[in-house]
Amino acid sequence: MLVDPISFQGRVLFLTEDPGKVVRQLAGEDLEAAEAVPLRDQISTDEITPAFICYHFDGKLGDFSYLGLKCGDTFPLKEGSVRAGGFSVSVAGKRRGKGSSREASPYAELCAGIRLVIAESFERIYRQNAQNLGLLTSTDFGLIPRIRRGEAIPMAEFTAGLDAVTAGIVQRGGLFAYNAARLAGEVVPPLPEQAPRPMTYAEKLLARQAVVDAARGRTGLASVKPGDGLFVQAHWRFSHEYVTPMAASFLEKALGPDVALRDPGSILAFRDHLTFLHRSMKAEHRAMGLLEVAERLKPVQEAFCLKHGIRLHGELADGSGSEGICHAIMAERYACPGQVVVGTDSHTPHAGALGCLAFGVGTTDIACAWVTGDVRVTVPPTLRVRLRGRLRPGVSAKDIVLHLLARPLIREGGAIGHVIEYLGEALADLDTDERATLTNMAAEIGGFSGLVAPDAETLRFIRERRGVDITLESWMRGDEGAEYAHTLDVDCTELGPMLARPGDPGNGIALADLDKPVPIHIAYLGSCTGGKREDLRRAYEVVRAAAAEGRRVPEGVQFFVQCGSEAVRHYAEKQGWMAAFEAVGAIVLGSSCGACINAGPGVSNHPGQVTISAINRNFPGRSGPGQMWLASPATVAASALAGRIAGA
């Protein structure tokens, strides 16, 4: 248990918009809260720990806290500066920790000496990861003067408003300590007692999988509501190579090297993020020895999987890529309607397109889940998105999401921690690949998960991809009269192709409203969001029309095409799509996350380069130092052939 009340001995670091104020603090000056404004809003985990820092999975991470933090037009924090400054409290604005689910971010802060993070609001996964590690969080800015006066803060101020399970985790200093007490019978998580009520589909999924008696394997509650704290049994648990080694290290440190995993057959691992890293790592990062650090991840993951009998979807024997991105393979081979799926990646909701509740978890969550088979959840509210009318030709799921991300409710954080449930007439125009773009990018919306209730299209997809027939059950949809926190209506008849300007997926603008030509240097078609069958088909239609007119990718532009899985690549080759891409000058790559995670061809090399990409996020530094625009696969293909941002 943490000491109660809690004293904080170090300094307070305000993460401000003004880089000069950050530099002054690093030099030893303490700012007053009033002079620290404006604080940086929407700090992403890519900024707290850039992807290349996450090759480390130990205390070394503490040297690199906030290395990618952009204040104004500069990056004021350097290696070791947070540790050297003696800070114990870090303060920021709205939506702290958006983006990736990487637990490396709060872990780096903890290793740098930070004990408390304060913000106006937090992204769900980031805050849960912090709680799991014992890093305290608060939205109370009134704590700052009290801490500076040396006042010890009662634990109750950090657990106020939390459900009983989460409060217990915070009080014990993290999830491992809580679960150790739980496994020893010292803690019995309280179960919510709710009268029967109409439930959303997500609530029904959680109620059915709620752990009632862990020792006897009993699950199922009659009813749950938003705010209830639960442990839920997962049908699938997966991790990729960025996380498996850290999770294995945490697990061994907490429970010893001989710990047994629960039901290894339902645990999966993927080597998908770094298979092309050697082709894109910058010289300065090579000089830091980071390629060697990154290459340690593969054998550590392989050894862990071999030891515990875990299925590893790894690299191809010829080195041309990986079997596929975790999210693509989960949808193609594993996830089914009515299941709960957890994975160590914020885009795990991808599989929600098949009518399962799929959500991202952190390193500590997955390490504990390997042993217990379950994960802790605070039942989220649901945001209902009604897609009214039918989509116009050429408009895709990516355009819908970029439109949603620009809506004030979402842009201002009103959907943080919500299930984003899609329904409406326009779903008829979207196959499961397209629906997966909607659910995948619940991560950018700030949601807990994205979800589409299963229907005939779901059955078609599973039959086509897996050769099996399944039956949908009558409970697999929301109840009449279920409560929704918000409802957003989208008039799809009025929606056209969309873009997101550099810096944030929420910087939406209609393609038709672009007021001047934007020349490009790189066009990238790939990632879990942009490398599916339907993504390639839509891009191929654009390329086929251009080829008929004799057009090719112009000089000075690189057009990269990278599939989400080998199954997609083989299908595309049989359809003739890949040959058509190559015929107009595209560079076709083997399957991998690649440039999306700043680890493969397609990344920018200097700030002056402009990229248009089909990936899901464009935070500073996400895919190189250049300026990245987001767009649909068709718009990416059209832009590649025009040499500037252009419509299909």
3-state secondary structure string across 144-173: HHHHHCCCCECCHHHHCCCCHHHHHHHHHC
Question: Which tens digits make up the pLDDT trace of 299-326?
Answer: 999 999 999 999 999 999 888 899 999 9
Q: Which residue has the higher pLDDT, 294 or 397?
A: 397
pLDDT in tens, 422-469: 999 999 999 999 999 999 999 999 999 999 999 999 999 999 999 999
The CATH code belonging to domain 499-642 is 3.30.499.10
* Residue 1 scores a pLDDT above 80: no
Given this model, what pLDDT does residue 319 score? 86
Q: Distances in Å between the alpha carbon of 214 and those of 187, 238, 632? A: 12, 21, 45
Q: What is the pLDDT of residue 383?
A: 98
Confidence category of residue 181, pLDDT binned at 50, 70, 90? very high
As given in the structure block, the two tokens for residue 479 are 């109840």
Portions of the chain given CATH number 3.30.499.10: 382-496, 499-642
Q: What is the DSSP letter of 322?
A: B
Residue 100 confidence class, pLDDT cut points 50, 70, 90: confident
Homologous superfamily of domain range 11-178: Aconitase, domain 4 (3.20.19.10)
pLDDT range class, residue 282, cuts 50, 70, 90 = confident
Q: For residues 606 and 68, give the distance between their C-alpha atoms in angstroms, rounded to a whole number.
A: 15
pLDDT category of residue 148 using cuts at 50, 70 and 90? very high
- Of the listed ranges 367-371, 492-496, 616-620, the one predicted with least confidence: 616-620
Q: What is the mean pLDDT of residues 140-156?
A: 97
Question: Given this model, what pLDDT does residue 183 score?
Answer: 84
Instruction: Please report which confidence band the pLDDT of residue 52 belongs to, taking 50, 70 and 90 as the band edges.
Output: confident
Going by C-beta distance under 8 Å and a sequence separation of 6 or more, which residues neighbour residue 323?
Answer: 270, 272, 313, 314, 315, 316, 329, 565, 566, 591
Q: What is the mean pLDDT of residues 548-561?
A: 97
* Residue 475 in tokens: 């409970």
> How far, CA to CA in Å, does 49 sit from each of 43, 64, 146, 297, 392?
11, 7, 29, 17, 40
From 204, 191, 126, select the one nearest 483 (Cα to Cα). 204
Task: Tell me the pLDDT tens digit for each residue of 371-393.
Answer: 999 999 999 999 999 999 999 99
Residue 147 predicted with pLDDT over 90:
yes
Looking at residue 208, its pLDDT comes to 97
Residue 577 has pLDDT above 80, yes or no: yes
- Looking up tokens 């083997």, which residue turns up? 590
Q: Which residues contact 355 (CB under 8 A, 6 or more apart)?
A: 201, 336, 337, 338, 451, 452, 453, 454, 458, 472, 476
- pLDDT for 640 equals 98
Q: Which residue has the tokens 């007119």?
A: 549
| Residue 382 contacts residue 485 (beta carbons within 8 Å) | yes
pLDDT score at 376: 95
Q: Which of 163, 131, 130 is nearest to 230 (CA)?
A: 163
For the segment 125-139, the average pLDDT, to the nearest whole number, is 96
Q: Which pLDDT score, from 0 to 100, does residue 216 have?
A: 85
Residue 194 is predicted with a pLDDT of 80
Burial state string for 616-634 with b = 16 or more CB within 10 A and e = fewer than 16? bbbbbbbbbbbbbbbbbbb
Regarding pTM above 0.85, the answer is yes
Judge contact between 163 and 229, C-beta under 8 A: yes
User: For the chain, what is the total number of helices (H) and then of strands (E)?
Assistant: 26, 24
Q: What's the pLDDT score for residue 21?
A: 97
**What percentage of residues in the chain have a pLDDT greater than 70?**
100
Confidence of residue 51 (pLDDT cuts 50, 70, 90): confident
Residue 405 has pLDDT above 80, yes or no: yes
CB-side neighbour CA atoms (13 Å) of 240: 32
How would DSSP label each residue in 402-449? HHHHTSHHHHTTTTTT-EEEEESGGGGG--HHHHHHHHHTHHHHT-SE
Give the whole-angstrom CA distance, residue 377 versus residue 165: 9
CA distances from 420 to 155, 216, 416 (A): 33, 33, 10
The residue-averaged pLDDT of 54-75 equals 93
Those residues whose C-beta lies under 8 Å from the C-beta of residue 591, and which sit 6 or more positions away, are: 272, 321, 322, 323, 324, 325, 328, 531, 562, 563, 564, 565, 566, 568, 569
Q: Where in the chain is the domain with CATH 3.20.19.10?
A: 11-178
Q: Please name the helix (run of DSSP H) or strand (run of DSSP E) that holds residue 341, with its range, or none.
A: strand 340-343
Over the stretch 3-34, which tens digit does the pLDDT of each residue have?
899 999 999 999 999 999 999 999 999 999 99
Cα dihedral angle (275, 368, 110, 417), rounded to 10 degrees?
Answer: 80
Homologous superfamily of the 382-496 domain (CATH) = Aconitase, domain 3 (3.30.499.10)
- Residue 67 is predicted with a pLDDT of 95
Return the ∠ at Cα 114 (arms to 109 and 119), rounded to 5°.
85
Confidence of residue 101 (pLDDT cuts 50, 70, 90): confident
Write down the residue that tokens 């709060």 correspond to: 106
Q: Give SS3 for 365.
A: helix
d(CA 625, CA 602): 12
Mean pLDDT computed over 164-168:
95
